[in-house]
Chain A
């Protein structure tokens, strides 16, 4: 009965990297010396990103840029969702701005943001030394394994909207979750063959850890001091305030409901038009509409206009779209169609 007693109002697409209780730093122990502060992962937010980009570039990943649409997590990027399907090998890494409208706190919570960055790595097939590679990447950004307690703690991942699940861990550094590590078993309702390994770093959280900062808005963005110092707050605080107002108070729900419907219809229409039997010619545009529907749903959810019972049916509608896109993807070149 325990499960029945719980009133679960949790956000549907479970955080790839929970923004809920993030962060917290030590500071002292992890300074890197050889690099200028603007490129130093323990001095600047951008340095952290660039260090990861370099590290994964050296592992043979294509370094992509963020997908140019609103998504809730790096997993939604077609470079992960779609490329995880089909037989072709794939290695990619990228930063993905992620939007969780419900997590907005008007810029007042030191640990919670409605817009934040994930660093996403996808390796297909998952290499045998993926755990070691991950630990090396932590070392590259200055985490000393002789000093810090790194742990792989069970965390099975599931995305109801993407029809995806995998097994893996949350990676802890001194009790703080800094990454998620997943072996994809299924995406868009389709078995992954081969299985891809996915790493998701919570960049703000990691940066706060290595910079020794308590409040996300105090992160040093550019690594400089004095007048030249730009903080995360300088860049994003106003945005957090404005988007919180939008997400919770002013987003036009009639419009959003309509846009959800439009995106859903357009996704289905494009899938139908692109379907040439053995081949499919318009998966990516259709998938964009799926992403759009998902984000519209998240906004409606933040506005509190979707009831508990309706929520499930919205999730299912998005999942139907992503499943259809996944099936169509397998009929394309990149999806491995003959």
Chain B
């Protein structure tokens, strides 16, 4: 069977686009072929900086013929209907149509048989490929040359120069699939390496294309170029007793910059090793696309850090410095570059040129690194170097987000939140506040200005130099973590407090201005932030009621946005800064808000609380969604998560009213349930909003439920529950009253034993389960439920629910409803499948 070879030869394609482009090429051409009835045996697509290539093996020489029957009107139908049929089926007269009997025996119908002979595959290709080229989904494309005066001129990633397209059977001379795209005629010629073999090459098929390119110094397959670079780089490093610092993203990029990779080694002055290793690496990687190398011995010990348990007091600056230099010691002063040519001098000039550039870059980096440790002319009075940077950040009013204020304001919010969270996660409050104060200061450093990817890390290096506490230093780096699903989770309590505060502040802020993620759009990485919170909480085993902890932040964020929208600017925000927020609950803030902003804000009396409620529940359900995704990835059953999440009753949080702050997070719900004095109309749930914001407990319940449902008792109880729930629901429907059976079961001496037994079991299981749940002992709650199994089974065996006596029927339905409620103490079993 014939093969297709297609090559699109153009000026240098950006490295970052090559992979997607070759995938798209494959998908678009094969998709169009299959759509036209042409299936193939195998396919592969490739990209180099100058070409996209596609090989499709085992295509038939022509399309299959097709036969389609089209049903027409009844024999004897009006003329207009017949004419319409002939026209739509492309027939000249009724003689060309068949007559068929209606299978239902209602007379006869005309049927047109439309037969289409399959076209040759080459013909089909000549139609598909130009269209594919014209509509190719480049992320960014351009026009060029004289043709670009026309509005319909071809767009390509960079100017397209030639198209090679052949189709034919092995052993035979393949034909050129002939077509034109914007003046370019398809052919069978390509070119080799731009510098080492620029001449034209005549190609027949894929089998000779690859070796011909190889001979002309082009490695077609990007995976092979990566392999070559990786192996040569490792070998070259090893020859010098060094290890390659592997970097997949850089490897892929470099492989996309060359057609003929040649790995060469260069070095730089050892004095530059005084610069933190990460900055050297960032400099060499980002600007020069070169790999750095490590000395193997110290490479084994990951980033030497001062042990966290010792030296609680401020480490001496000298110690911090030595920790830094120990860390840097692992980096070698050699680097690897990947050239695109085999130079006539063996690469000496290329290495020399690259070394000079790297030297200049490192001189700059060294200068930045030193400048950042020195006083800032206008802020020298603000304290230590990083304190000066923070002062500058505030003074310049650098905007974090147009609607969320400046970075300085944001830092204040993070500080307040970190202060609140710190005691709940076992962190020293003073350290958490200090870390929060300095966590964004490195944004004003020269190094971070140059290399944003080392933010956080540089902050850490600089605070180490100015002698901050080890936990503060760690937190400044780690508060950005985790950056993604694979990133490490900080375990240092101070880091946890600041990391949570940073992410939660971001989430509340963007929720308040209604910039939530939608579909694939999540420009502020809010999903990542929520996942970060979830992982920080779960992987550290933290008891934390997220929405509860955010009650101030949410209220304040809503009021702030509202005050700006209402034309009061940030007057309210300024006011808030002047008050110690720990002392106020939402209701008091609302009062202050109304007082401060006067009668004009009357509207807010209804609007603001409603928005606060909406934001809380909206943010909570976002967390629930992200938690579901997270747990599903961990293999948890989706239905079990739903079953647990639909039952949030034991955690209630008043919208307004004072909450005894002493409890902080956990346990506070009890006082809030009783102590709340809700303002009428403010809460949709009559004083308490259902929340389910203790992530660790949700997971504990999902796990306990999962285990229970694996036992015989669990499975059988689920069956009994469903039967009971179905009966109750069906009867509720008949009564057209969802609370028809919510009344209490009345003890009935005349009832059958099975009914009495179940009533007793429901009553005790209900109490036990509720007690176990409020003691957070979910295993024991399941145990209590398991006692229901036998009585439920027996009840359904012996007792008819719909008794002729309406009183008995009502009572039994109430009993089943009681059973349902008892189970719901633990989870909503109706959500469980099976």
Name A's B-contacting residues (CB within 8 A).
Answer: 1-7, 9, 20-26, 28-29, 87, 111, 125-128, 131, 145-154, 156, 166-169, 173-176, 183, 185, 192-195, 197, 209, 214, 307-309
Contact = CB atoms under 8 A, between A and B. Distances in A.
Contacts of B452: 2, 5-6
Contacts of A183: 142-144, 158-159
Nearest to A27: B352
B143 A149 contact: no
B364 A25 contact: no
A174 B145 contact: no
Contacts of A174: 349-350, 352-354, 357
B515 to A, nearest CB: 11
Contact of B360 (A21, A168, A194): A21
A28 B142 CA distance: 39
B176 to A, nearest CB: 21
Given A2-B525, A148-B343, A151-B257, A192 B148 contact: yes
A193 B149 contact: yes
A307 B802 CA distance: 79
Contacts of B529: 1
Contacts of A23: 356, 360
A147 B341 CA distance: 8
Contacts of B343: 146-149
A1 B525 contact: yes
Contacts of B796: none
A169 to B, nearest CB: 6
B496 to A, nearest CB: 19
A1 B349 CA distance: 42
Contact of B16 (A20, A145, A154, A169): A154
Interface string B352-367: 1110111111001000
Interface residues of B, number: 66
B143 A185 contact: yes
Contacts of A24: 353, 356-357, 359-360
A149 B340 contact: yes
B63 interface: no
A175 B257 contact: no
16 contacts: A2-B525, A3-B523, A6-B443, A29-B349, A147-B349, A149-B341, A150-B340, A152-B49, A167-B158, A176-B354, A194-B145, A195-B145, A197-B144, A214-B356, A308-B396, A309-B397
A153 B15 CA distance: 8
B143 A195 contact: yes
B337 interface: yes
Contacts of A194: 143, 145-149
Interface in B717-773: none
Contacts of A7: 393, 398, 407, 443-444, 448-449
B180 interface: no
B339 interface: yes
Nearest to A125: B146
Contact of A154 (B14, B161, B287, B397): B14
Contacts of B345: 29, 147
Given A147-B345, A176-B353, 8 more contacts: A1-B524, A5-B455, A21-B357, A21-B364, A28-B349, A111-B360, A168-B158, A174-B353
A330 B360 CA distance: 44
Determine which residue in B145, B452, B523 has the highest number of CB atoms from chain A within 10 A of its CB, and name it. B145
Contacts of B146: 125, 194
A268 to B, nearest CB: 28
Contacts of A185: 142-143
A5 B443 contact: yes
B401 interface: yes
Contacts of B49: 152
Contacts of B340: 149-151
A23 B147 CA distance: 37
B350 A148 contact: yes
A176 B407 CA distance: 36
A183 B157 CA distance: 11
A185 B144 CA distance: 8
Contact of B344 (A4, A147, A168, A308): A147
B12 interface: yes
B506 interface: yes
A195 B352 contact: no
Given A147-B343, A148-B349, A149-B343, A308 B360 contact: no
B144 A131 contact: no
Given A9-B449, A183-B159, A128 B396 contact: no
Nearest to A166: B142
Interface string B553-589: 0000000000000000000000000000000000000
Going nearest first, the 6 A-B pairs with the smallest beta carbon separation are A174-B353, A24-B356, A154-B14, A175-B354, A152-B12, A195-B148
A131 B11 contact: yes
A174 B353 CA distance: 5
A319 to B, nearest CB: 20
Contacts of A214: 356
Nearest to B483: A2
Nearest to A176: B357
A153 B449 contact: no
B140 interface: yes
B525 A195 contact: no
Contacts of B144: 125-126, 183, 195, 197
A205 to B, nearest CB: 10
Contacts of A151: 257-258, 340
A28 B348 CA distance: 11
Contacts of B361: 21
B634 to A, nearest CB: 25
A25 B356 contact: yes
Contacts of B398: 7, 308
Nearest to B453: A2
B257 A153 contact: yes
Contacts of B354: 174-176
Contact of B353 (A21, A148, A308): A148
Interface string B154-171: 000111010000000000
A183 B393 CA distance: 38
A98 B257 CA distance: 31
Contact of A145 (B195, B356, B397, B401): B195
Contacts of A153: 12, 257
B360 A175 contact: no
B712 to A, nearest CB: 49
Given A1-B529, A308-B397, A146 B344 contact: yes
A309 B396 CA distance: 10
A74 to B, nearest CB: 21
A7 B399 CA distance: 9
Contacts of B357: 21, 24, 174-176
Contact of A22 (B12, B151, B360, B506): B360
Contacts of A127: 145
Nearest to B378: A304
Nearest to A173: B353
B11 A152 contact: yes
A176 B525 contact: no
Contacts of A152: 11-12, 49
A141 to B, nearest CB: 15
B358 A175 contact: yes
Nearest to B452: A6
Contact of A125 (B145, B161, B257, B443): B145
B305 interface: no
Contacts of B159: 126, 128, 183
B148 A167 contact: no
A271 to B, nearest CB: 26
Nearest to A171: B12
A3 to B, nearest CB: 8
A176 B288 CA distance: 8
Given A1-B524, A126-B145, A193-B149, A26 B349 contact: yes
Contacts of A209: 353
Contact of B148 (A1, A3, A193): A193
Interface string B435-465: 0000010011000110010010000000000
